[in-house]
Structure 1
Amino acid sequence: MRAAVWHNAKDVRVEENWEVKEVTKTDVKIKVAWAGICGSDLHEYLHGPIVIPANAPDALTGDTAPIVMGHEFAGVIDEVGSDVSDFKKGDRVVVNPLYTHGVKPPTLDLYDGFAFAGLASDGGFADYCVIPESMVHKVPEGMTLEEGALVEPMAVTVQALKEADFKFGQTCTVFGAGPIGLCTIIAAKAAGASKIIVFDLSEERLKKATEVGATHVFNSGNVDPVEEVKKIEPEGVDASFEVAGVGVTLNQAIHTAKSRGTVVIVSIFTKGVEIKPMDLTVSGVKITSSLAYEPEVFQRTIDSIAAGALDVKGVITDHIELEAIVTDGFERLSEDKSQAKILVKLSGES
């Protein structure tokens, strides 16, 4: 089968004869329809290995590179293992790609160690993927498989709003209007945010932010974000979502939150940053973080998309063929800031 395989930084190869794994008694084999390119995929392509197990087997999956990439995907079940009872051939499904030890309660399990299919085991940039039954969810009627490929990034942001204890009518800032920033805007809008104030350096991304629900957008290279927020909300916002991953935006997120407001770090920081603890002490602002999602949040995200409460299609900026994943996917995303979520077509089923 065809598969986009990570071998090293800047060395992802679309291989024509990659061998799909054997289906064990608790696995399902999925004919992949659509898969999204994530920022973490791009980081692995440009700078990896970051989390891909290149030198030793992953502690949870036991796999090592080379690995088929792709952890945002949906498709149709092609085969089920002998002990699989909840799924059958032909079921439309989306994959929760998160591996955990599963020995702690759901709210703590994620922080006991985790890995992702597509980063620590073979994932969805392939014609077929074999995955444990426990990681598979049915796609409801009325929801497309393209939307299914967007469940994973949306679940990240639904979890972020849960971490903020965000309530209907509250206000927020979003620093960074890349794919996860756009999903944060969509989630905040669905949660009933009255004001969603977004900052980015890209005019193209700010335009897209407006399209998906931002009420105010600013180029942070042209204005002081803290001053602009205080013009709109003199006391600050209820929640600030840091989705850029740089020190300056983290500090801006802190200073745009109101007294006893919340800052949620959603991005991945590649190096240390400096903050002043007294900025928190004198304001009561709380900092929390969110990286992935609890199983219940993943299912809730599916249900919300299917019900039309989360309109995710607005983040899609292009569809490409698997053979073009390097040139039209990774390279393009690294150079073209107008791109948000690029979907890779495998079977292309709906």
Structure 2
Amino acid sequence: MAPVKNGKDNLSAVLYGKDDMKLEQRPIPVPRDNQVLLQMEVVGICGSDVSYLAKGVCGPFVVKDPMVIGHEASGTVVECGKNVKNLQVGDRVAIEPGVPCRICQLCKSGSYHLCQDLFFCATPPDDGNLSRYYCHDADFCWKLPDNMDMEEGAIMEPLSVGVHACKRANIKIGDVCLITGAGPIGLVTLLAAKAMGASKIVITDILDVKLKMAKQLGADYTIKIDGSLTEDQIVSKVIELLGQEPNASMDCTGVEACVRICVKSTGLAGVVVLVGLGKLEMTLPLANALIKEVDVRGVFRYCNDYPTAIEMVRSGRINVKPLVTHRYRIEDTLKAFHTARTQEGDPIKVLIYCNPNWKPS
């Protein structure tokens, strides 16, 4: 699809607050010297996007002023700032949505995702990129290999979360793992863990359709959480299926009950990784972690993980295409969010096409 820059059409999805999103025209931005102007191609809907629409908040982040939504995205370069050396017009890119200050101690030490001056698409007060055109720093735009398409480019954002989670868990060949939650982040974490060498994975969820997808993507075992099993029975089931306590447990829900199951299940000297963003305070069985020397680690987005995610897809070690269940034009953004919010039609990953040239296949 060739970019179409007409100088007028920059249709954008703007969130004004809880249950208040509008499509409106905004000026086409002009790239700064270190930026590129992108014809936006594909933007995925994230759980945080749905939370902002449904509640006006996501964790500690609150929508106070109008904000363009969207951060899981790919685009085509249509203009380069004068200092841009790594990209040229026509390049197809995956957009890493967080841009740090680059000069603080966290940035210099490599943890740029924890920068306190981080710009992040669609995290208040920063605008996102669900629009026809968008400017972004060139060094946080990752050129896509020829054998990857724009849908895969957009999914590099959630996949990078899964890659980062597995790096934090130190997943290695032969590890056995528990993943709680088979939503999009749980599923990409499953894909990343398998690609990194995990030999057995059990994944939990409350929905059969999510567990079915998990099996399709390589989960060895699934457990449906439906109220018929107590917390301790679920823990026993995890250990029974895996044949041992997991080396690593990764919670992708943010739900207290799921975090408790991870802490109780994980074996000696294992790791619990908290991926899902839940309530600010939880009651957890930390004595279990203490006597087994289990590390409890947080995950906040990703850091230096886009190249790994792209290479995993380029090389064929990971196939993210089965995750895509629904596709909409940007003009139908409200319908797309309705699907993601209500779960009508059993969506896994809902994608929105911004380029007016897109034709459904």
Structures share a fold, TM > 0.5? yes
- Give the Cα separation in 1 of the matches to 2:119 and 2:81: 23
Query: 1:258 corresponds to which residue?
Result: 267
User: How far off is 1:341 after superposition?
Assistant: 0.8
For residues 255-294 of structure 1, the aligned pairs below 5 Å read 255-294=264-303
Whether 1:307 and 2:315 are equivalent positions in the alignment is yes
User: How far off is 1:38 after superposition?
Assistant: 0.7
User: How far off is 1:53 after superposition?
Assistant: 6.5
- Give the Cα separation in 1 of the matches to 2:257 and 2:67: 35
- 1:264-295 alpha-carbon deviations (Å, 9 max, x no partner): 00000134110132111222211101121112
Picking from 3, 26, 30, the partner of 2:12 is: 3
Picking from 112, 118, 122, the partner of 2:122 is: 118
**Structure 2 unaligned runs (5+)?**
1-9
Whether 1:147 and 2:152 are equivalent positions in the alignment is yes
Query: 1:60 corresponds to which residue?
Result: none
* SS of aligned partner of 2:214: helix
Give the conservation status (yes or no) of the 8 Å contact 1:199–1:225: no
Picking from 313, 335, 338, the partner of 1:331 is: 338
Whether 1:75 and 2:75 are equivalent positions in the alignment is yes
- 1:55-104 alpha-carbon deviations (Å, 9 max, x no partner): 4xxxxxxxxx3221111111110111122222111111111111222233
Whether 1:168 and 2:176 are equivalent positions in the alignment is no
Query: 1:129 corresponds to which residue?
Result: 134
- Give the Cα separation in 1 of the matches to 2:291 and 2:36: 53
- Give the Cα separation in 2 of the matches to 1:24 and 1:233: 52
- Give the Cα separation in 1 of the matches to 2:109 and 2:340: 34
Structure 2: which amino acid aligns with 1:147? E
- Give the Cα separation in 2 of the matches to 1:54 and 1:234: 46
- Give the Cα separation in 2 of the matches to 1:247 and 1:291: 18
What TM-score do the two structures reach when normalised by structure 1? 0.91
For residues 145-224 of structure 1, the aligned pairs below 5 Å read 145-221=150-226, 222-223=228-229, 224=233
* Matched length: 338
- Give the Cα separation in 1 of the matches to 2:95 and 2:242: 40
Q: Percent same amino acid among aligned pairs? A: 27
What TM-score do the two structures reach when normalised by structure 2? 0.89
User: How far off is 1:107 after superposition?
Assistant: 3.8
- Give the Cα separation in 1 of the matches to 2:234 and 2:322: 25
User: How far off is 1:106 after superposition?
Assistant: 4.9
User: How far off is 1:303 after superposition?
Assistant: 1.7
* SS of aligned partner of 1:291: coil
* SS of aligned partner of 1:227: helix
Q: Which moved more, 1:96-105 or 1:135-144?
A: 96-105
**Structure 1 unaligned runs (5+)?**
56-64
Give the conservation status (yes or no) of the 8 Å contact 1:239–1:262: yes
Give the conservation status (yes or no) of the 8 Å contact 1:106–1:294: no
- Give the Cα separation in 2 of the matches to 1:71 and 1:244: 20
User: How far off is 1:245 after superposition?
Assistant: 0.8
- 1:219-251 alpha-carbon deviations (Å, 9 max, x no partner): 122443211112123530111010111111101
Q: 1:284 to 1:35 in 2, by over 3 A?
A: same
Give the conservation status (yes or no) of the 8 Å contact 1:174–1:198: yes
Give the conservation status (yes or no) of the 8 Å contact 1:242–1:267: yes
Structure 2: which amino acid aligns with 1:89? V
